[in-house]
Amino acid sequence: MRIIVADDFVTMRRIVRECLTNLGYTDIIDARNGKEAWDKIIAVCDVPEKRIEMGIIDWNMPVMTGLLLLKMIREDERTKDFIFIMLTAEQQRENIMAASQYGVDEYILKPFNHDSLKGRLLNLGKKRLGNIEKEIVTIQRNSAKNP
């Protein structure tokens, strides 16, 4: 799985990268802001073997915020299934609600550690599997109704 880490602080990108590497992820791309992340995601979105499938994105960045990037990703048919993890120090309820409204997959508060990132990734995997199971059941029911 290709992952992009977008944060305007190089130290935070390095910390996230180290955590991901320790969890076994090796194909990790960096971006300094939301615009750079968007450009990198879009550049390869139509190339299956190079597609970036997940992002760990900071909320507060210059040029383009993580929230605007999330909105653009969800609105684009090519990237709407992108796994989006918002990484932020923003704890205000309104911010969490805004990210949820645009379809954030996970919300991780800074500071975080290796175990909390691992836990969120495991949670995310369980959610995705649950959604796939629901889709399969729906398809099976529809097939049974319309043989």
pLDDT tens-place string over residues 19-60: 999 989 999 999 999 999 999 999 999 999 999 999 999 999
Average pLDDT, integer, range 115-128: 80
- Give Cα separations from 27 to 3, 52, 64, 94, 104 (angstroms): 6, 9, 24, 33, 22
pLDDT at 17: 95
> Chain-wide mean pLDDT for the chain?
88
| pLDDT of 132 over the 80 cut | no
Whether 70 and 99 have beta carbons less than 8 Å apart is answered as yes
Characterize the bridge pairing of strands 54-58 and 3-6: parallel
Element of type H or E holding 130: helix 114-145
With beta carbons less than 8 A apart as the criterion, state whether 120 and 106 touch: yes
The pTM for the full model equals 0.84
Residue 139's H or E segment, with its range, is helix 114-145
Instruction: Kindly list the structural domains of the chain, giving each domain's residue range(s) and its CATH number in brackets, ordered by start.
Output: 3-145 (3.40.50.2300)
Summarize the confidence of residues 113-128 as an average pLDDT.
Answer: 80
Section 106-130 average pLDDT: 80
| % the chain with pLDDT above 70 | 91
